[in-house]
Structure 1
Amino acid sequence: MTSFTPQTDALGGSVALTALVAFIPLVTFFILLAVVKLKAWAAGLASLAAALIVAVAVMKMPALLALLSATQGAVFGAFPVFWIVVMAVWLYQVTVLSGRFEDLRRIFDSIGGGDIRIQAVLIAFCFGGLLEALAGFGAPVAITATMLMALGLKPLKAATAVLLANTAPVAFGAIAIPITTAGNLTGLSSDHIGAIVGRQAPLLAVVVPVILLFIIDGRKGVKDAWAPALATGVSFGIAQFLCANFFSYELTDIVAALAGLGGAVLFLRFWRTPARAAQAEAARERLGIAAPAAGSEAERLTGSRTFMALLPYLLVIVLFGAAKLWTLGVNMPKTLASTDVKIPWPGLDGHLLTAAGTASKSTVYTFQWLSSPGTLLLITGLIVAVIYSVKDDGGRFRLSVGNSVAEIGRTVWRMRMAGVTIMSVLALAYVMNFSGQTISIGMWLAGAGGFFAFLSPILGWIGTAVTGSDTSANALFAKLQQTAASHAGIDPNLLVAANTTGGVVGKLISPQNLAIAATSVDMEGKESEILKTVIGWSVGMLLFLCCLVYLQSTPILGWMLP
């Protein structure tokens, strides 16, 4: 079979012309999704077809190699990416089926001390962060929006609050699959990328709870409750930084969400002001929320039930921590890694060459059947299911192991089209990467020199805004960021991380997320109203990130990087 070496100037010897044509698959995807409003899976498949045509007709890649590139990308999209997402959603579903989810909700109700604004922040920000850590892909918005509506918030406020709250944890969502995807596509260390993101995203996390207060109750809300909100944000941000840099980037959102909740609990325990009760009641009146009727207080939770409600998330931390860090007696990271199966992709491996004429290492697929975060989530879920089936409090929380296992199949079926979307987008990314389309775009953009560092987060913002997924944005642009950085003399890890962090604030205006929020709060067809309330926050935070990344690429803030 003929070998292939990607050329950045395949069209007329011009990098600029080649790059412009290479944009066609991306432009196709964005237009079909955002303008034509095709389903994401259909837009992904159509754009994949466009990428294959450009690869063969313009980049001169042999058709068979182009098709094989797509199959490797699709398989990677199925496992580990889709596998992780399915297992994360399934673990959440186990808590719902068992009835423990309602106890988790009561935990947040009790912490707020009767202040609806603080309760809303904890649900949207902390619990939403937990859901983003395990599920992502719109689940946190849908679930927390419903919970805020149940508290009594008006639909527009609830939708706006949950969309904004969903920004801070997105980069580490679904067990940090955006960062893992970026590492796999670029060959850079996912741990290193995660560490840099852990020095960018926390700066947003610190202020988001205070912004939520403003959205919920205006300046009065900020004046009354800025202190506990800031304590929550600072706790969350510090935990994000520490976990991403010194523990496990995959667990960052879980640890940060629990730390944010813990910080709020501790602060509220000692935060006493004479006017607190009056302020909370006044806030209810301003928001048009009736006070709870006498005798309707939430059932008191026992310590045992509180622990059982938090058990899945605590167990995830223990198992993932052991898998990443345990070295006493048995080196767990090495032991798990030794089970990985390396598969040179048939027909592709050895035929895709680098510019130096050596065989590309990207054509080797790693099957992480045991070390994958998805498999660890499966093990966690099975343990939780067994414990929930035994500890059912006299049948009140009855859940059989068989029903828990059957839910895996139901989850896969419900998410089947999301799986097609993920596989098509990653197939698209692999074709663009292996054919040289992404490299051509990166070479062209690198002409901006050091200023490209300022523009870098915008690519992640656009990618996530259109696809609704930071993972998809990294699949599309991570290799491009790496290429542009290398040619502009900037640390590639910084710009790949910037793509991820830029995507964090792009999620806020994603049409898919807007639709999910609108549906959850009974505002179908009024997505434009929600967009008007969030677009300013999204653009403002994006500009902040652009400045931050640019300064981190210079000696001014270069000291922030690991």
Structure 2
Amino acid sequence: MSSGIVLASYTQDYDPIGNSLGLSSIVAVLPLVVLFVLLGVVRMRAWLASVIGLAVSLVVAIVFYGMGVGDALNSGLLGAAFGFFPIMWIVINAIWVYNLTVDTGHFDVLRRSFASISDDQRIQAIIIAFCFGALMEALAGFGTPVAISSVMLMALGFRPLKAAAVALVANTAPVAFGALAVPITTLAAVTKLPVDDLGAMVGRQTPILAVFVPLALVFIVDGKRGLRQCWPAALVCGLVFGIAQYAASNFWSIPLTDIIAALASALAVLAFSKLWRPVTPPDVTEQGGEPQPTAASGAAGPEPTGGGTATRVEERVVDSRSEVLKAYAPYLIIIVVFVLATRVPPITGVAPTKPGATGTGLEAATWIVNWPGLHIVSGTGAPVSTTFKINILSAAGTLLLISGLLTLPVLRIGVGHALRTYWRTLVQLRTAIVTVMAVLALGFVMNESGQTQTLGLWLAGAGGLFALLSPILGWLGTAVTGSDTSSNSLFGALQVSAATSAHLSPTLLAAANSSGGVLGKMISPQNLAIAAGAVGLAGREGESFRRVLWWSIGFLAFMCVLVYLQSTPVLSWMVVA
């Protein structure tokens, strides 16, 4: 496809100010500062703050870095395209499947199924907020688990603030592999590191965190007494989840990691509950007849099902085995579809690895294309990859769409109903779509112009101590944007740049960005708003923030120490080679 025309390319300059990496870094960080201030201080809506941050990144790229207007806009367009496909394509179809179960009442059947395991709120917190929340994170992410879990807990008698706090803290360990590992996929795209290596490395960090999260949940529900009386179940849950998450991410399937871990931990708690039951004081049993505030739909996330009022009459409903099976069917179908699509070679096929190559199996409908008109050269003179992958059949979002279509006859849903629900889902997620596309565009502009590399070179001045600080970047990114995916897009390339300059493992620090990011999820304004809206306490996000802040900081300190030790001979054996 040669036209004989030599296309101009942009060469990255990591010190545009000249002989002052510190001043160049101040300029490079402006888009992030603007984004953080607008979200965290001004409390502007996420989509608008993201668009303004994107505009600032374009100005910095053009005015200070000398990037052409066309190249800057084109870089942002590439990022926005990636933000929609595959990222939001996954979220749209996952929320669609969830909305179908709500419409048919099968989500309520699922909730009652969980409640039947135990009437002890501490065990319910583990099962619903951690295990089922992890499954929701695996399938959708982006605030879905917080909205759904908090409403389910409210329906079982939890106080509103406690339900919100439990749901927020529980939504940690699964986040890095959420939405079928979209954060890891995004991290691989912006860092150019193998997705399998990144997934394996994150799978050697967050599983350790997972061991302690269920213990934290029982403490939030019932303090020290809860730990004394329920630690065996919490420990079983955390250990099984951590082991399953490690095994799946390192040896089997990165997209299915959280699904496997969530189901394994739920089954473990169920089996353990048959053999052991905690002493349950009256004040932590189900308060079914006590009136609760009505749950409201969260403005920043998917609409939760039902209200917050639980009555004993409703809780005494006995669902038939066939109805319970139908309630679980969508998730079982998703697992089967993904196993067939990712683990059966004739179906999976072989994906193309470069533009012009062809694939087999599902990957026969996969194309890798050079993004039109974008030609970037790094500061070292090497070309920067600006390709875009279109995998129509093998994309996780498409597999979710197929799973949803297979679910229709099982739940007896007509095509018209399914289409109306799909449109409602698109409307429901419209601001989330804009936000994610804008944040990804911002990240790509910073990466392609060289702003990210400037910050990386400056931060590398910390040397080996940068490993101690690395998770904090991911934590800040997620805390502000509400998304580990967005945080990875913003800081993933920066982590790699700093790691290379400091002679540390790029894979380790890139993974640390995602692992640290999961701990910023619970204090992000977006998630706090979702939780407050779901439990009917909109406007009282500050109370939830104060309840979960120290958990976030404490877990972050643990992650910083873990990553630092992994960068030293003490735990270097844990690092993916």
TM-score range, shorter chain: over 0.9
Is the Cα contact below 8 Å between 1:159 and 1:517 reproduced in 2?
Answer: yes
CA distance in 2, matches of 1:242, 1:230: 18
Give the secondary structure class of the aligned counterpart of 2:378: coil
Is the Cα contact below 8 Å between 1:153 and 1:287 reproduced in 2?
Answer: no
Shift of 1:132: 1.1
CA distance in 2, matches of 1:434, 1:283: 54
Give the secondary structure class of the aligned counterpart of 1:341: strand
Is the Cα contact below 8 Å between 2:96 and 2:425 reproduced in 1?
Answer: yes
Instruction: Say whether 1:129 aligns with 2:152.
Output: no
CA root-mean-square deviation: 2.0
CA distance in 2, matches of 1:522, 1:293: 17
In the alignment, which of 359, 374, 390 is matched to residue 383 of structure 2?
A: 359
Higher mean C-alpha displacement, 1-10 vs 532-541: 1-10
Match of 2:156 in 1: 151
Is the Cα contact below 8 Å between 1:15 and 1:444 reproduced in 2?
Answer: yes
User: Which residue identity lines up with residue 392 of structure 2 in the other structure?
Assistant: W
Give the secondary structure class of the aligned counterpart of 1:267: helix
Shift of 1:345: 1.5
Instruction: Say whether 1:344 aligns with 2:370.
Output: yes
Deviations 1:87-121 (A, max 9, x none): 11111112112221111111111112x22221122
Call closer, same or farther: CA 1:296–1:360 in 2, change over 3 Å.
closer
Higher mean C-alpha displacement, 492-501 vs 137-146: 137-146
Instruction: Say whether 1:374 aligns with 2:411.
Output: no
Higher mean C-alpha displacement, 331-340 vs 48-57: 331-340
Shift of 1:332: 6.6
User: Which residue identity lines up with residue 65 of structure 1 in the other structure?
Assistant: D
Match of 1:242 in 2: 247
Give the secondary structure class of the aligned counterpart of 2:376: coil
Match of 1:440 in 2: 454
Match of 2:29 in 1: 23
Is the Cα contact below 8 Å between 2:377 and 2:383 reproduced in 1?
Answer: yes
Instruction: Say whether 1:118 aligns with 2:123.
Output: yes
Call closer, same or farther: CA 1:285–1:307 in 2, change over 3 Å.
closer
In the alignment, which of 388, 401, 405 is matched to residue 411 of structure 2?
A: 388
CA distance in 2, matches of 1:442, 1:272: 51
Would you tell me which structure has more helix in proportion to its own residues?
1
Is the Cα contact below 8 Å between 1:2 and 1:62 reproduced in 2?
Answer: no
User: Which residue identity lines up with residue 202 of structure 2 in the other structure?
Assistant: V
User: Which residue identity lines up with residue 419 of structure 1 in the other structure?
Assistant: I
Is the Cα contact below 8 Å between 2:478 and 2:484 reproduced in 1?
Answer: yes
CA distance in 1, matches of 2:58, 2:347: 50
Call closer, same or farther: CA 1:479–1:34 in 2, change over 3 Å.
same
Shift of 1:58: 0.8
Match of 1:549 in 2: 563
Call closer, same or farther: CA 1:386–1:21 in 2, change over 3 Å.
same
Match of 1:463 in 2: 477
Deviations 1:249-284 (A, max 9, x none): 1111111111111001110111157xx4xx243533
Match of 1:407 in 2: 421
Shift of 1:33: 1.1
Match of 1:299 in 2: 317
Shift of 1:330: 7.1
Instruction: Say whether 1:421 aligns with 2:435.
Output: yes
Match of 1:311 in 2: 329
Give the secondary structure class of the aligned counterpart of 1:209: helix
Deviations 1:516-540 (A, max 9, x none): 1122222222222211111111100
Match of 2:266 in 1: 261
Is the Cα contact below 8 Å between 2:460 and 2:501 reproduced in 1?
Answer: yes
Shift of 1:296: 6.5
Match of 1:170 in 2: 175
Give the secondary structure class of the aligned counterpart of 2:59: helix
Give the secondary structure class of the aligned counterpart of 1:531: helix
Is the Cα contact below 8 Å between 1:101 and 1:309 reproduced in 2?
Answer: yes
Call closer, same or farther: CA 1:431–1:332 in 2, change over 3 Å.
closer
CA distance in 2, matches of 1:172, 1:287: 34
Match of 1:213 in 2: 218
Is the Cα contact below 8 Å between 1:29 and 1:44 reproduced in 2?
Answer: yes
CA distance in 1, matches of 2:571, 2:33: 34
Shift of 1:422: 0.7
Higher mean C-alpha displacement, 540-549 vs 524-533: 524-533
Higher mean C-alpha displacement, 30-39 vs 468-477: 30-39
Is the Cα contact below 8 Å between 2:137 and 2:145 reproduced in 1?
Answer: yes
Match of 1:102 in 2: 108
In the alignment, which of 58, 74, 78 is matched to residue 72 of structure 1?
A: 78
User: Which residue identity lines up with residue 11 of structure 1 in the other structure?
Assistant: I
Instruction: Say whether 1:538 aligns with 2:558.
Output: no
CA distance in 2, matches of 1:509, 1:283: 26
Call closer, same or farther: CA 1:330–1:161 in 2, change over 3 Å.
closer
Match of 1:510 in 2: 524
Gaps in structure 1 of 5+ consecutive residues:
390-398
Give the secondary structure class of the aligned counterpart of 1:111: coil
Call closer, same or farther: CA 1:60–1:78 in 2, change over 3 Å.
same
Give the secondary structure class of the aligned counterpart of 2:256: helix
Higher mean C-alpha displacement, 400-409 vs 417-426: 400-409
Is the Cα contact below 8 Å between 1:29 and 1:43 reproduced in 2?
Answer: yes
Gaps in structure 2 of 5+ consecutive residues:
1-6, 292-309, 352-359
Is the Cα contact below 8 Å between 1:324 and 1:332 reproduced in 2?
Answer: no
Give the secondary structure class of the aligned counterpart of 1:505: coil
CA distance in 1, matches of 2:260, 2:440: 29
Match of 1:396 in 2: none
Deviations 1:283-320 (A, max 9, x none): 33999969x98876533344333322212222222221
Is the Cα contact below 8 Å between 1:325 and 1:332 reproduced in 2?
Answer: no
Match of 2:282 in 1: 281
Call closer, same or farther: CA 1:296–1:433 in 2, change over 3 Å.
closer
Q: What is the TM-score when the length of structure 2 is the normalising length? A: 0.90
Higher mean C-alpha displacement, 215-224 vs 545-554: 215-224
Is the Cα contact below 8 Å between 2:290 and 2:311 reproduced in 1?
Answer: no
User: Which residue identity lines up with residue 346 of structure 1 in the other structure?
Assistant: P
Match of 2:341 in 1: 323
Report the count of equivalent residues: 544
Higher mean C-alpha displacement, 323-332 vs 141-150: 323-332
Call closer, same or farther: CA 1:529–1:282 in 2, change over 3 Å.
closer
CA distance in 1, matches of 2:313, 2:289: 21
